[in-house]
Amino acid sequence: MLTALSIRNVVLIERLDLTFHAGLCVLTGETGAGKSILLDALGLALGARAETSLLRQGSDTASVAASFEIPADHPANQLIEEHGIESEDTLVLRRTLAGTGRSRAFINDQATSVALLKRVGESLIEIQGQFEQHGLLDSGTHLSLLDMFGKLQGHAGTVRNAYRAWRDAETALADAAEEAEQARRDEDYLRHALEELDALDPQTGEDAELTETRRFLMQAEQIVDAIEAARSEFDARKPVSESLRAALRKLERLSETAGGRLDDAIAALDRALAEVEAASTVLNEAARSIDTDDARLNQIEERLFALREIGRKHRVDVERLPGLRQRFSDRLALIDHQTNKLASLENAVREARATFENEAQTLSKARTKAANALDQAVNKELPPLKLDKAAFTTEMERLDENGWTEDGFDRARFMIATNPGEPAGPIGRIASGGELSRFMLALKLVLISGGDQPSLIFDEVDSGVGGATAHAIGQRLWRLADRTQLLVVTHSPQVAARGADHLLVQKAGSGDRVITDVKRLGGESRLEEVARMLSGATITAEARAAAGRLIEGNAP
């Protein structure tokens, strides 16, 4: 609920700080005292259009701050948290206006957009006046209000979920169909490309292996020549091995005669002979193992170049060709199995649609029943409000499939006929200013069932009526205030006497200038104000006595 309003330099208001309480708060005062200025200032804080005409003369800036106490799970807190603004125990909406016409918006002292300020403000308070009404005049809200009245929110949520499931199933089917169509367009290319890859059969690591083999084969002749040169050195004029054996035999014959002095030399020669023979054997084997056949090199090069060519064709490295081959194979398999997948998705769409239609049909029947109950309840409230010739109806329209939404296939509009025999029409176009406010009061009284409802402001809901009608309006406002915070701008003493809180808006002098001030009334001061509203400028004893009876008769 609204707990405080702080206004600086708005039209006739220089500096004003107000507090508000739960229940019915009435604002009274003579015409021109500045009651509308208070509403304009509050509207500025709630995100209404900023006009430089709101600036107090001689001031460069104006500001308005409205404070609210709301539960933690209130939609306003959820909304600001979605925009990165931390919720607090008190929610403060603030707006500043400069002489240039530029305005700035703040929520909990954090700069934000005017659009967000307005969205938050609309969730906190509704202003119902003779010339500007919100919410109930917007036919887009009527269906949700009807659901609220009929306590159908749970079923409406089921329909909403069913609708989204149906649309999600349709999206999945459309995506799969598009994917299948794209695959079919690519099928010839995929099959040709896969045939090429299958024929080539690229293997992981093959590129590096072929490159190394090619490099070796290209150097094979040079390697063989080097081996032959080494062998020729072994076998020059007299082979090294024969020389070593001859030397070894000579020393072995003299070994005993030398008394062991030749043993080390003999051992060394023996080792040398073994190594030479081993080296000769290795060279012979190496020479035999090296393939210098050009055909083998050509095969390696053809394979390597073929792999690289197809890699360039598909713009991938040779090492990634096996993976590409698998992906092409998978896509072709998808095409082959797409028919079954599409059939399954089509069945899911049919089932989801059937679920939505069944739930929406059940909800539609419940809405029709709720609409009849709403019509009866609202029409029962009209005669005491001097609207006995008027008739309220909730028009239910069944939409064709193109109009179906997550709200089902219903459209609801609140309609009135102000006189018998006249066609019903939208409230805002049929009712006059005073009638409109009273229709709003009757609707709100029936629709609001308690809970976290926005605070309500009625601006001169009693315009043009008096006596028993004014008494009925006051009685209904009092009943409505038992369910939500209610602020009422009134010229009716019958309404003012109902207020649990009474604020007097009046002009006062400030030097050579006039300012608007607000005074909280109670006791005698409140009695005097109600008496003034009864008798006018001259307050008589009879007026005071009548005011006393009104106040006492409306005491809780």
The helix/strand count (H/E) of the chain reads as: 17, 15
Looking at the structure, tell me whether residues 325 and 249 fall in a common domain.
yes
Contacts with 555 (C-beta within 8 Å, 6 or more apart), sequence order? none
pLDDT at 130: 44
CATH of the domain at 486: 3.40.50.300
DSSP letters spanning 279-304? HHHHHHHHHHH----HHHHHHHHHHH
The Cα–Cα gap between 554 and 499 comes to: 9
**What's the mean pLDDT when you consider all of the chain?**
83
Structure token digits, residue 225: 């020549």
Looking at the structure, tell me whether residues 187 and 330 fall in a common domain.
yes
Please indicate, yes or no, if residue 140 is contained in any of the structural domains. Answer: no
The Cα–Cα gap between 131 and 272 comes to: 121
* Residue 94 backbone phi and psi in degrees, to 5: -135, 145
Looking at the structure, tell me whether residues 316 and 199 fall in a common domain.
yes
Q: What is the pTM of this model?
A: 0.64
Looking at the structure, tell me whether residues 391 and 327 fall in a common domain.
no
Report pLDDT digits (tens) over 489-524.
988 898 898 889 999 998 887 666 788 889 999 889
The Cα–Cα gap between 469 and 21 comes to: 26
Looking at the structure, tell me whether residues 239 and 120 fall in a common domain.
no
- Let me know if 35 is exposed, middle or buried by CB neighbors in 10 A (0-12, 13-18, 19+): buried
Please give the average per-residue pLDDT across 290-315, as a whole number: 78
pLDDT band at 431 (very low <50, low <70, confident <90, very high): low
Looking at the structure, tell me whether residues 83 and 188 fall in a common domain.
no
Looking at the structure, tell me whether residues 188 and 331 fall in a common domain.
yes
Please indicate, yes or no, if residue 154 is contained in any of the structural domains. Answer: no
> Is residue 549 predicted with pLDDT exceeding 80?
yes
For the chain, what is the domain count? 2
> Is residue 289 predicted with pLDDT exceeding 50?
yes
Please indicate, yes or no, if residue 355 is contained in any of the structural domains. Answer: no
pLDDT band at 302 (very low <50, low <70, confident <90, very high): confident
The Cα–Cα gap between 225 and 222 comes to: 5
Looking at the structure, tell me whether residues 107 and 218 fall in a common domain.
no
Looking at the structure, tell me whether residues 392 and 452 fall in a common domain.
yes
Do the Cβ atoms of 551 and 526 come closer than 8 Å? yes
Please indicate, yes or no, if residue 145 is contained in any of the structural domains. Answer: no
> Is residue 134 predicted with pLDDT exceeding 60?
no
Structure token digits, residue 547: 């005011």
pLDDT at 511: 61
Please indicate, yes or no, if residue 366 is contained in any of the structural domains. Answer: no
Please indicate, yes or no, if residue 149 is contained in any of the structural domains. Answer: no
The Cα–Cα gap between 200 and 380 comes to: 88
Please indicate, yes or no, if residue 406 is contained in any of the structural domains. Answer: yes
pLDDT at 473: 86
Burial readout 235-252 (b: 16 or more C-beta within 10 A, e: otherwise): eeeeebbeebbeebeebe
- Let me know if 7 is exposed, middle or buried by CB neighbors in 10 A (0-12, 13-18, 19+): buried
pLDDT at 186: 76
Q: Which domain range does residue 409 map to?
A: 2-129+382-521
The Cα–Cα gap between 379 and 424 comes to: 14
Looking at the structure, tell me whether residues 408 and 263 fall in a common domain.
no
Looking at the structure, tell me whether residues 28 and 97 fall in a common domain.
yes
The Cα–Cα gap between 370 and 386 comes to: 25
pLDDT band at 131 (very low <50, low <70, confident <90, very high): very low
Looking at the structure, tell me whether residues 509 and 443 fall in a common domain.
yes
Please give the average per-residue pLDDT across 256-268, as a whole number: 67
The Cα–Cα gap between 538 and 523 comes to: 20
> Is residue 5 predicted with pLDDT exceeding 90?
yes
Please indicate, yes or no, if residue 390 is contained in any of the structural domains. Answer: yes
